[in-house]
Chain A
């Protein structure tokens, strides 16, 4: 079954950009999640309805369609507008794009006035029309404030919520179903997040209910669904500033060990830091007893190897330089004779034990994903937004 998503935005609000960025975001997110355009049908004159398929772990999770159109069509009275209206009325999920530029007015009242004049005046009649045909109920509304780069840091979420609700005063006062989010496709993958959130909201039922009192949902079997749920929730958790309203409905209890730098990882980090501290102490001891000149060569080599081991991308090279740094360390320790050698062996055993312990802790909490996958998954999710900003900056 194909779900129709209605995208409402006046000319210049960023509809085309939103669609293409959302698709791009999701596809560059993880190889486990793909989104492909299945079909592109001409509709309403020069415009088109595209059908997409969302897959996770090779399983089809969602078929949906989005229409893109020239914003001026909203104001037209020709046949194409009639077709567009029909499409909107066939969809119960509406994304309403609010141009973030509207927020550059001087005060709240002026912002509201501008949004009403420029956007609500055009879009509200469509909502009203929908209500006429659907038992006086509004569709599910998802407000996305685009070009929100400047807004994120100058407005708190309470005022943004107020502005949007006041700009759509004709809606039922407690229109709890509506969601509000900030988006900036230049620096964040918020468009992808928005689409995934819609996916989640729309597939609510497939996530089985855990407790009847709370709105906590957890997926049972489908690994793809589980993965998507985790993605959505992680993205929300890590981008609190963008989520303005309604996201508390998305409350997916994913396995935290797959994403957070949990106790085990912290333990390993602490052990390594302690290790390095002891090595430093030992080096100072050496310098005092053996002399700086003799130690310097070994120290430079050690620092060089460690730097390479940490900095280099290639994994085999990393292991190689790791071994080199261990060699360098043993070499240094050997300077103070047999005792030094024993101490270095002690260091190494301690290092291996602490890493091994950390890994076993991780294994206990999640048997399905191995540690390697976990770390990559974590990086993907935590840096989801950073990466885009970096990409863009590099691209410039």
Chain B
């Protein structure tokens, strides 16, 4: 893929489940999902495998990875494959929750890296601790969540200000769905989002809300339940949906420009051939004067131009196919997440991807 610097950045307070999400998502994707599969780069593969074993074999809170410290941000490299063919490599940046406070604590280096990785991200992930929603009544939930996301909101507003009011698509990931699903129902989510992230409910901003869990029984019997990732792929698929879309539109524009160039090259060569063959307008004289090597040269030029056009189109078709695979999966999953755009809840219909 042209843009090799795709990054996904995870924001969230300490303990919200960012690290567990990478783990759960990898756990789900490593065995393949609807043709897609992930392969971790060699640097982190061992850690992820050990964590997966730990998650499977140990019970209690020790089965989860330890909290991520300020200094040990992890930059996981993954290769995404479809039907075993390489699609793209991307990095998943997992910051410790403390990184958000780094600026105030004058740890400017971590904060600068955070901003930099967001600049390379097609979407922004914000993790919300589902445990905060485990209470009766929206009021108390909203209160708990608001308090928790105060710092995130400040960060997002800062970001928007420094980017001329622009905002990336945001994927809110509510973790620990196994715990909070019985408290929060489908209709509560728009209310909670409106109350806690009102400033995102404006024109031009799109965000998604998903709920994920490492397994519906994971917390049973003092955290000894089975690991069975639930909807862990959805936030990730939303991410690659936007990545592919950005890429396909960019590619399409590029190809259009190049195609025009090639078309004019073709017609230029065609007229050159014509001129070469019709120097005098006298049939037999023309045949004598015509330099076949010049004609051949032009023909070759035309062939190359045609080939370039064809290979570009093939490339676009290839990515459209991948794009289709992702969007149709998201369409199938669309009951399991919500999409808000311009301040209102909308049905996810992947319409923009069909404009390609």
| Residue ranges of A at the interface with B (Cβ–Cβ < 8 Å) | 75, 77, 113, 116-117, 120-121, 124-125, 127-129, 131-132, 136-138, 167-173
Contact = CB atoms under 8 A, between A and B. Distances in A.
B30 A121 contact: yes
Contacts, number: 63
Given A128-B84, A136-B85, A138-B84, A170 B31 contact: yes
Contacts of A77: 46, 49
Interface string B78-91: 00010111100000
Contact of B30 (A125, A129, A131, A171): A125
A66 B210 CA distance: 47
List the 9 shortest-distance A-B pairs measured between CB atoms, nearest first.
A170-B32, A170-B37, A172-B83, A169-B32, A120-B31, A131-B84, A116-B31, A136-B85, A128-B39
Contacts of A116: 31
A171 B86 CA distance: 12
B57 to A, nearest CB: 11
Given A77-B49, A117-B227, A170-B31, 14 more contacts: A117-B228, A120-B31, A121-B31, A124-B30, A127-B84, A128-B84, A132-B39, A136-B86, A169-B35, A170-B33, A170-B35, A170-B37, A171-B32, A171-B83
Interface residues of B, number: 22
Interface of B: 27, 30-37, 39, 46, 49, 52-53, 56, 81, 83-86, 227-228
Contacts of B81: 128, 131, 170
Contacts of A75: 49, 53
Nearest to B52: A121
Nearest to B215: A113
Nearest to B86: A136
A111 B56 CA distance: 16
Q: Which of A75, A113, A170, A173 has the most CB of B within 10 A?
A: A170
Nearest to B27: A121
Contacts of A171: 32, 83-84
A168 B32 contact: yes
30 contacts: A75-B49, A75-B53, A77-B46, A117-B56, A117-B227, A117-B228, A120-B31, A120-B32, A121-B52, A124-B31, A124-B37, A125-B39, A128-B84, A131-B81, A131-B84, A131-B85, A132-B39, A136-B85, A138-B84, A168-B31, A169-B31, A169-B37, A170-B31, A170-B32, A170-B36, A170-B81, A170-B83, A171-B32, A171-B83, A172-B35
A169 B83 CA distance: 8
B49 to A, nearest CB: 7
Contacts of B34: 169
A225 to B, nearest CB: 34
Contacts of A172: 35, 83-84
Given A75-B49, A121-B30, A173 B84 contact: no
Q: Which of A127, A129, A167, A169 has the most CB of B within 10 A?
A: A169
B115 to A, nearest CB: 34
A124 B46 CA distance: 15
A300 B319 CA distance: 86
A179 B255 CA distance: 42
B82 to A, nearest CB: 9
Given A117-B56, A136-B86, A128 B37 contact: yes
A120 B85 CA distance: 18
Given A121-B52, A136-B84, A136-B85, A173 B35 contact: yes
Nearest to A127: B84
Nearest to A112: B31
A171 B37 CA distance: 9
Nearest to B35: A173
Nearest to B29: A170
